[in-house]
Amino acid sequence: MNDFGERAQGMTANQDLNLDDWRRAVDTVSRGQVIELGREFHSGMPHYPTHPDFEISLFRRHGDRVRADGASSASCHWSFGGHTGTHIDALCHVSQCGVMFDDTPADNDLIESGKAAGDAADFSAYLRRGILFDIAALDGVESLSGDRLITPEDLEKASDAQGIDVRQGDVALIRTGWGRHWGSDAYIGHDTPGPGFEAALWLADKGVELVGSDTAVFEKGPVTEAAPVHRLLLLERQIRIMENLDLEALSAAKVYAFFFMALPLRVRGGTASPLRPIAVC
């Protein structure tokens, strides 16, 4: 069996979900409402400066070829980075001192060829209970200020105020309100709010499966000389990260526990995948 076949065979068990986790997620559904948690992908969309633009064009246009019966078709070409728009980070996204999450040397050629562990091909379907920490609502503001660092105390207060408890396997989302700046120059600012290392550690110790926020980077920005939250979650705890979420509708509906669903693209060699997450409540 080749390398790809062995990897695919090894991933089968990761698709299974404990039935108790399914029931816990489904039990949160009471309204029959679906809320989109992701951003539309479009040309000119905001993105972190270290990642490529999103560009879309018609590769084939109506009229380029017209069939005998008058029918024609168009097809599109996309070009963008895996970390542009709403996305999920793969474990191979970060390294520390040349070492990956599985204690192997960081090998760019191996990642690019799709033969390294922890790339986007390793993503599973995420069907779990989701919980929302609405920190902006907790502070009584539409959006946190760019210098706001989210602490474990903030998460605990939000849990109490919103009547949620964090359980093993949960998907934890943090709303800062910064998503209100989406589409403006302020969204990718020098300073952006986000969780600090201690808040990330608090979530990790609670056993969350996946985290995400309504900012371009899941930690207090800017990320310049260090990214301690990414290092802790991806590298040390193997907890994947979602960024550029839209949490405004979820907050407006005052939904703090829900059935979270997301299906990442499984891309060999990908350090991230675009994502369309939803909340069913």
pLDDT tens column, 264-275: 999 999 999 999
Beta strands (DSSP E) in the chain are 34-36, 55-60, 75-79, 87-89, 126-134, 149-150, 171-175, 194-195, 210-213, 240-243, 257-262, 272-274, 278-280
Please tell me the distance from the alpha carbon of residue 222 to that of residue 146, in angstroms, as a whole number: 9
Name the architecture of domain 3-8+17-40+82-280: 3-Layer(bba) Sandwich (3.50)
Q: Which pLDDT value is given to residue 84?
A: 94
| Amino acid in position 214 | D
The overall longest dimension of the chain from CA atoms, in Å, is 68
| Tens-level pLDDT at each residue, the chain (281 residues) | 344 444 433 343 355 667 888 888 999 999 999 999 999 999 988 888 888 899 999 999 999 999 999 999 999 999 999 999 999 999 999 999 999 999 999 999 999 999 999 999 999 999 999 999 999 999 999 999 999 999 999 999 999 999 999 999 999 999 999 999 998 888 988 899 999 999 999 999 999 999 999 999 999 988 877 799 999 999 999 999 999 999 999 999 999 999 999 999 999 999 999 999 999 99
Among 24, 34, 247, 36, smallest CA distance to 128 is for 24
Please tell me the distance from the alpha carbon of residue 279 to that of residue 281, in angstroms, as a whole number: 6
Going by C-beta distance under 8 Å and a sequence separation of 6 or more, which residues neighbour residue 237?
204
Would you tell me how many other CB atoms lie within 10 Å of the CB of residue 175? 26
- What value, to the nearest 5°, has the Cα angle with vertex 107 and ends 106 and 113? 135
Token digits of residue 94: 């970060």
Please tell me the distance from the alpha carbon of residue 92 to that of residue 111, in angstroms, as a whole number: 8
